[in-house]
């Protein structure tokens, strides 16, 4: 394909392109390879294989029905109740039905070994919001166990891995997705990958908030790429704040999580006055769902009852040193690294932006609204509704990564590689490389701080209409300023240039979150508005956003389809 560009462009063809190499991306690759090893698979990972992304950071575990006393129906009901009844119920059922099978697959194909009971059965621990202890784990380092073994599996295949390689934009032909334009961050070289099927599995954009938990390279690249290509989105207002992110001053470690299992095991939360404040918010106390606990903590803080550094305290010391060291060694060590003593003392924590329940609209085959484009994991919306249960996140990635792999394998059979115009490639490459030659313009780092502040203060744990309208204006202005920013210098290993790309993507996603939040005039799950503080049964609807030709978003609503479980009338 001929081209002209300020940077050299490499070309590569594949049957299947997977952008993102966390749990969803690697399970998709595993399923494709196991089904048809002859298919050419290319996996692009923004960092290093097995060392980046959020699946690796999972401490808590993976929800699956394994105990005869548990049931799929019970897990499903917990998931729908946790999601405040706006989940896509067929996607949620697929999650719970496929999750046990994936545990067997992770152990027998990928080589993961999860903690065992004395009788040899897999141990499952308590997580908040669940009616049964069904969380499979490897101590409190479950993600490392999963990702290390998936990485080793990939390295034993002929799957092409492009490390330190980020997606810039999708390549399209007559509304059909045919691959992507990528950037090798280390070398500064662009590449086009033509593919019969493309999977977005890059994760969400919670790092647009001042306090957040995801890995630092996460910037919702897949969602932003999908928006620019015209894909549809669902319930983007639903963004989860984890209740217990560490407070470590201005360190990038601020927002890193103390996982759900600690509260599930009986740790208590206290405000700055030493009161166990959850008693006044929910009868389940610290084992209430994440949205309830995060909001309760936030309300304590803004009421002036927070800790000295603007948080609350978590205390597990009463559980005993032996118990904590045996069950939570990773968290004990992490706290010690920052000067905190989780074993003997209270530790300051804050709500931390964590996970997007909203995302790209998918069907049961992980197909988006665009032909040739698939999405899985946090890039996709609908599974979790208004709130995700702890332990359902990594299950989501593993389950739907596998589903996407199976679906793409079927999809590519008998298809030809798409034709992508040289003009499109040239235009996209010139667009993304413009800041390298800009002599004047703002630097992206200050823009990033402003973005984080507006999202935290006006589109955060507690929202209201006036703040959301103001945030939309500010986000539009920030995006315009970012379009004119300068990151002059070489393309290779240019942190300012990559930071600017992150800001642009996060502005796109932040606008979708704020716009949906303004439209939903009720409080439901993770979405809480002071001006509409109660759930409204008339809002048992999903909010769909579709990009239009003007670059704006068309909004429409559809009543939730209660295909398996109807809500009580008061919800």
3-state per-residue secondary structure call for 377-424 = HHHEECCCCCCCCCCHHHHHHHHHHHHHHHHHHHHHCCCCCCCCCHHH
Give the per-residue pLDDT at 570.
67
Q: Looking at residue 4, what is its pLDDT?
A: 39
Cβ(109)–Cβ(39) under 8 Å? no
pTM of the shown model: 0.94
Q: Judge contact between 63 and 392, C-beta under 8 A.
A: yes
pLDDT of residue 2: 37
- In DSSP notation, 136-180 reads E-STT-HHHHHHHHHHHHHHTS--EEE-SEEEEEEEEETTEEEEE
Write down the domain spans for the chain: 241-353, 433-559
* pLDDT value for 6: 60
Q: Which two tokens stand for residue 296?
A: 């309760």
Task: Report the half-sphere exposure of 498 (CA within 13 A, side-chain side).
Answer: 23
The 3-state secondary structure of 55-82 reads HHHCCCCEECCCCCCCCHHHHHHHHHHH
H or E element that contains 536? none
Main-chain dihedrals φ then ψ at residue 485, nearest 5 degrees: -70, 160
Secondary structure letter of residue 567 according to DSSP: P
The reply to whether 241-353 and 433-559 are identical in fold is no
Residues ≥6 apart with Cβ < 8 Å to 129: 78, 81, 82, 287, 288, 289, 290, 387, 389, 390
> How many Å apart are CA 436 and CA 563, to the nearest integer?
52
8 Å CB contact between 49 and 18: no
Closest CA to 220 of 198, 202, 240: 202
Fold of the domain built from segment(s) 433-559: Methane Monooxygenase Hydroxylase; Chain G, domain 1 (1.20.58)
- Pair of tokens at residue 449: 């701080």
Separation of alpha carbons 209 and 43, rounded Å: 28
Rg of the chain on CA atoms, in Å? 22
**The pLDDT value given to residue 288:** 87
CA distance 297 to 291: 10
- Chunked into runs of 10 residues, the chain (571 residues) has average pLDDT values of 59 97 96 97 95 81 96 98 96 98 96 95 89 92 93 96 98 95 97 98 96 92 97 97 93 88 92 95 88 93 94 95 92 93 96 96 98 98 95 96 98 96 95 92 95 97 97 97 95 96 98 98 96 96 94 94 91 74
Domain 241-353 has CATH 3.90.700.10: yes
Angle between helices 422-437 and 495-519 (to 10 degrees): 110
Residue 3 is predicted with a pLDDT of: 37
> Which residues, at least 6 apart from 359, have a Cβ–Cβ distance to it below 8 Å?
204, 223, 233, 234, 236, 375, 378, 379, 380, 381, 382
- Catalytic positions, written as ranges: 242, 263
């Amino acid at each position: 394909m001929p081209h002209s560009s300020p940077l050299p462009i490499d070309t590569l063809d594949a049957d299947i392109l997977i952008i993102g190499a966390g749990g969803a991306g690697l399970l998709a690759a595993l399923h494709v390879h196991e089904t048809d090893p002859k298919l050419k698979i290319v996996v692009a990972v923004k960092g290093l294989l097995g060392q980046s992304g959020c699946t690796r950071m999972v401490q808590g575990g993976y929800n699956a029905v394994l105990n005869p006393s548990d049931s799929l129906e019970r897990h499903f009901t917990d998931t729908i109740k946790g999601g405040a009844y706006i989940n896509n119920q067929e996607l949620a059922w697929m999650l719970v039905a496929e999750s046990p099978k994936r545990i067997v697959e992770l152990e027998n194909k990928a080589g993961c070994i999860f903690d065992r009971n004395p009788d040899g059965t897999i141990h499952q621990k308590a997580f908040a919001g669940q009616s049964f202890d069904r969380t499979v784990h490897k101590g409190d380092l479950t993600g490392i166990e999963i990702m290390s073994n998936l990485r080793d599996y990939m390295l034993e295949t002929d799957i092409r891995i492009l490390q330190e390689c980020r997606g810039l934009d999708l390549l399209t032909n007559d509304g059909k997705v045919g691959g992507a334009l990528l950037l090798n961050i280390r070398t500064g070289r662009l590449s086009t990958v033509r593919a019969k099927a493309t999977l977005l599995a890059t994760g969400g954009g919670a790092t647009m908030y001042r306090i957040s938990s995801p890995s630092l390279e996460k910037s919702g690249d897949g969602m932003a790429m999908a928006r620019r290509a015209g894909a549809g989105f669902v319930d983007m207002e639903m963004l989860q704040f984890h209740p217990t992110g560490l407070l470590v001053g201005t360190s990038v470690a601020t927002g890193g999580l103390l996982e759900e299992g600690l509260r599930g095991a009986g740790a208590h939360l206290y405000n700055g006055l030493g009161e166990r404040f959850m008693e006044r918010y929910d009868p389940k106390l610290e084992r209430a769902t994440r949205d309830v606990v995060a909001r309760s903590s936030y309300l304590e803080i803004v009421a002036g009852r927070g800790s000295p550094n603007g948080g609350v305290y978590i205390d597990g010391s009463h559980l005993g040193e032996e118990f904590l060291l045996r069950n939570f060694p990773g968290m004990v060590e992490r706290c010690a690294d920052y000067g905190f003593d989780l074993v003997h003392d209270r530790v300051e924590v804050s709500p931390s932006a964590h996970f997007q329940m909203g995302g790209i609209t998918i069907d049961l085959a992980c197909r988006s609204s665009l032909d040739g484009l698939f999405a899985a994991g946090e890039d996709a919306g609908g599974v979790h509704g208004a709130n995700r249960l702890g332990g359902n996140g990594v299950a989501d990635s593993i389950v739907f990564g596998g589903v996407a792999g199976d679906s793409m394998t079927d999809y590519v059979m008998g298809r030809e590689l798409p034709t992508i115009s040289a003009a499109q490639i040239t235009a996209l490459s010139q667009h993304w490389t413009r800041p390298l030659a800009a002599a004047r313009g703002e630097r992206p780092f200050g823009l990033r701080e402003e973005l984080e502040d507006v999202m935290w203060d006006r589109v955060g744990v507690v929202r209201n209409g006036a703040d959301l309208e103001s945030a939309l204006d500010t986000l539009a202005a920030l995006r315009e300023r970012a379009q004119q920013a300068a990151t002059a210098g070489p393309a290779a290993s240019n942190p300012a240039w990559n930071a600017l790309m992150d800001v642009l993507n996060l502005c796109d996603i932040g606008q979708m979150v704020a716009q949906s939040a303004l439209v939903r005039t009720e409080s439901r799950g993770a979405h809480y508005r002071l001006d509409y503080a109660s759930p409204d049964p008339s809002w048992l609807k999903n909010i769909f956003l579709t990009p239009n030709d003007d670059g704006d978003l068309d909004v429409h609503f559809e009543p939730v389809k209660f295909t398996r479980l109807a809500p009580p009338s008061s919800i």
